[in-house]
Amino acid sequence: MLRSQKHTLQFKRPSGTSRGVLNTKDSWLVSRWEDAQLVGIGECSIIEGLSPEDPYLMDDRVASLCQVELDGDMKRLIQQNPSIKFGRETLSKSTDSEDPFVLYVNSFSRGEAGIPINGLIWMGSKSFMFDQIKIKLNEGFRCIKLKIGAIGFEEELSLLKYIRSEFTVDDVELRVDANGAFAPKDALQKLLRLSEFELHSIEQPIRQGQWEQMAQLCAETPLDIALDEELIDIISRQEKKRCLDIIKPQYIILKPSLVGGWASSEEWIKLAEESDIGWWATSALESNIGLNAISQWVGSMDTSMPQGLGTGGLYSNNISSPLYIRDAAIWMDPEGAWDLSLLRS
């Protein structure tokens, strides 16, 4: 029996981005049961306003697209719904595994190694962001990612100045994420000012879809640029290659729920590596179900870069799991238990 259920995740505190403040986030859990035992599970997770899916159609589409054989029309439809494509992909792999929560057998899923992650600093008041930075540094994070583009550029520069006054580039790697907040006409000047603080990279300085302007920025930037939202809605291998060939970014960032799952992500990686473009993966605010799947996939890849996989503690009603953060890395306790009460309700 296949079960589909909507789960609205509640943020412990409002989380700010340049696109607004998030208080809740919807996910759909798809699970397969045999004789009242869970045998497979996946998650279809969207971010309203960013994911291409229509949230009002998700209930019906999740239920239908996750349980039928895909004919030509269905294959075209699922390509337009990357979170469902990822949920179906993870459900299938989970169902084929001996343990539905172990999708990849590797050092991460065996609890032998953690995956280095960045400490994420959400937008808010200057004092709020200061406090978050101090907490992350005290917790041992040496790669910090700041969301910028909402509280004022000068204030954001002062935050970066504070960090660099306390920690050198050898002490802390700094990444910033603009979520497309800069206007193309002044983006380069802002990148020049940001580069004074020896940042690792900036994600999506201008909004997606402006390939000519983004290509010019990537050619002239004093600061490495990573494409993030730019990858959404690009489906075919040919178009992916065209995107990378035209823009020539320094990095790409892969969110499987937004780019159509592991297979699509691996296609991006192959094309990027052929062009000497770096990459890392992040979650897209999934529950621990999706975070577990993405983390195990990353654990099977050949990468040592800090990943964006530390979002599991954001919610007050997340699904209890054996995932935990230690020493600025995400870990899996193979002896830990998953709380299935929500799935049984």
Residues recognised as catalytic? 147, 255
Going by their DSSP bridges, the two strands 173-177 and 2-17 should be labelled as unpaired
Q: Which long-range contacts (CB under 8 A, 24 or more apart) does 96-105 make?
A: 96/40, 97/40, 100/38, 100/39, 100/40, 100/41, 101/41, 101/292, 101/338, 102/296, 103/292, 103/293, 103/296, 103/297, 104/296, 104/297, 104/299, 104/300
What SS3 state is found at 29? strand
Residue 197 has a CB neighbour count (10 Å cut-off) of 18
Contact predicate 228/250, CB 8 Å: no
Rounded CA separation 94/96 (Å): 5
Exposure class string for 31-52: b at 16+ Cβ within 10 A, else e = bbeeeeebbbbbbbbbbeebbe
What SS3 state is found at 62? helix
Contact predicate 28/62, CB 8 Å: yes
What SS3 state is found at 270? helix
Which two three-digit tokens encode residue 52? 């291409």
Rounded CA separation 173/156 (Å): 16
Which two three-digit tokens encode residue 128? 């709020």
